[in-house]
Structure 1
């Protein structure tokens, strides 16, 4: 009797294990079928552009951050110059936009007074944002500055909620709280990664400018979304590029005025002469800084348009540890245990926010 009972129990267990494994296989097969179906719905050019856009976010943006730090660590002094570099590459986006008018047989969007004023305001805010980040990279290690800049997601979510009326759920709020906690950990461990030539007050200044720059970046993101909703619509990729070109152009104008008033263009000759390496190295850092920043912006724009904000959020979450790791390897940034903990918590916060954002998108689509 006991043997029959044990045999029965053993047999009763077998179907459950086999059914769980079969259900896992079914889920994998369903995911594979969904991926193939999604792939077949779009032309190959769509996936090539999406791949290039993703590469722009994961390669160009980190490279731009590292080059900003290289400029300051090798003898560069001007915050205005490095903020000017961030918008000096705006013609690259224009070069991508102009052919679209011919191949897609479209015409530029009429520049109304409201639209022009919106571009001017966003351009001014963008110039101010770049200057704040320049102060951050002048006094902070690139890995620390990158981690602090990830708080822009928090401000984007909050400004999006209050200005654009975007939805927030518990998972997204949880992500916001987690990322905020990660920023607090960095603040508590500020003494471990401060460079010897940076004073305590300068480090605090860099920390505060980085947070303020992230807040302003979040505001710019929300206002840009509002601009598309109210004035431009979401119909075509060329509208996104037009907005980026015009905002970068006005940002370039405002920053150029600031550099001129501060007489930093004249100081570039002395900076190049005293720059560690050579004048050629100085020019290469500035030129590649301008190119990589614009490629990163183009990549983010392409991902947002061709895919979704969720994928852009995922890539942004991956970009933070990539930048920090690259800064440790290439620039020998200090990496304490607290900073590693902050990095892990930041990625965790991104994951929670992205999960919540996905749920909001799915519920929004189902309700519509």
Structure 2
């Protein structure tokens, strides 16, 4: 009996020392990483992280505010998502002047790739616009997390990225979280939204997430096939070109649908008046582009894994902010779905981490 107790105490002591050793190792690695980079890099990384964790959720909430306060045009809110394409262009052009970089040669295949991705992005934004028109922002954000599933699947099929046990586990977990929301649809549907509209919002959100995953895989394929290199200014070039063509296609849709003319009457009936209407659209333009810029910068200042971590964090941030600021309904099923989604992201991040045994298998 005494011997068994001593063995248990030794195991606990061993486990505690292992945990302390792991924490000490992580602290040492973090300190060494901090010392290896200039302070300016860490400031940029902090600002980029802030862009992802603040700008992206803000743009999602503003989309819902637009529809909740009287906005009706799905084309207008999808146009807002790409109208800020000159913002990354203003950051890109100085890199040519001050960092001695040169524009990537634009051949026919690369040009057509940008046009095609621009068309897909325009369609993707329109699908998400329908989702935010019919769903609470918290629900739409949770459903949009399924884009990670589609990114992994399309990455495997198109770019031949590896799928390991941890990533497959993440796919199953996030799919289960989405299913939970579908089973609990009656608890978070707004009174003004019909059952048919809610279902279509759900469908458009999933389709938009699937298309988002396809765009991500095709973007990676362009780097592999046509560019052969990946640097910050090259990614900014792609962002500017794809956003520009998405802007062109979306503008055509707005014009054909006569939605620009409807903005005047829409602003007059908007809750809060014309000033509130204009502010929602302007801040929607700014926050969306700064969110994309933040994600781009994190990828190159840190790693894909850190971008994945931040992407995982912004899902609950958006959902919680929607509950607090927009008074979104938050049922027990939705809370469970939120926890499961975060678990799925953690599994995916572990599977793609360079230090993971699974990522090397």
Q: Give the TM bin, normalised by the shorter chain.
A: over 0.9
Structure 1: segments with no counterpart, 5+ residues: none
State the 1:20 CA deviation. Answer: 4.4
State the 1:219 CA deviation. Answer: 0.1
* 1:261-340 → structure 2 map (5 Å cutoff): 261-340=256-335
CA, structure 1 residues 362+310, in 2 after alignment: closer, same or farther (shift >3 Å)?
A: farther
CA, structure 1 residues 272+358, in 2 after alignment: closer, same or farther (shift >3 Å)?
A: same
User: Normalising by the residue count of structure 2, what TM-score does the alignment of the two structures yield?
Assistant: 0.95
8 Å Cα contact 2:78/2:122 also seen in 1 = yes
* 1:174-189 → structure 2 map (5 Å cutoff): 174-189=169-184
Aligned mates of 1:341, 1:311 — CA distance in 2: 24
1:59-96 CA deviation, whole Å, 9 max, x = no partner? 00000000000000000010000000000011111111
- Secondary structure of the 1:160 match is helix
State the 1:253 CA deviation. Answer: 0.4
8 Å Cα contact 1:182/1:342 also seen in 2 = yes
- Secondary structure of the 1:220 match is helix
**In the alignment, does 2:338 pair up with 1:346?**
no
Aligned mates of 2:317, 2:236 — CA distance in 1: 27
State the 1:234 CA deviation. Answer: 3.2
CA, structure 1 residues 270+19, in 2 after alignment: closer, same or farther (shift >3 Å)?
A: same
User: Normalising by the residue count of structure 1, what TM-score does the alignment of the two structures yield?
Assistant: 0.94
Q: What's 1:32 paired with?
A: 27
Structure 2 counterpart of 1:106, from 101, 104, 114: 101
8 Å Cα contact 1:140/1:207 also seen in 2 = yes
Aligned mates of 1:139, 1:167 — CA distance in 2: 36
Aligned mates of 1:9, 1:161 — CA distance in 2: 50
* 1:22-101 → structure 2 map (5 Å cutoff): 22-101=17-96
**In the alignment, does 2:121 pair up with 1:142?**
no
Structure 2: segments with no counterpart, 5+ residues: none
8 Å Cα contact 1:85/1:286 also seen in 2 = yes
Aligned mates of 2:221, 2:355 — CA distance in 1: 19
Q: What's 1:128 paired with?
A: 123
Between the two proteins, the alignment pairs up a number of residues equal to 361
8 Å Cα contact 1:167/1:360 also seen in 2 = no
8 Å Cα contact 1:143/1:325 also seen in 2 = yes
Aligned mates of 1:292, 1:251 — CA distance in 2: 17
Structure 1 stretch 268-277 or stretch 28-37: which is displaced more?
A: 28-37
State the 1:102 CA deviation. Answer: 1.2
CA, structure 1 residues 17+347, in 2 after alignment: closer, same or farther (shift >3 Å)?
A: closer
State the 1:25 CA deviation. Answer: 3.0
Structure 1 stretch 214-223 or stretch 91-100: which is displaced more?
A: 91-100
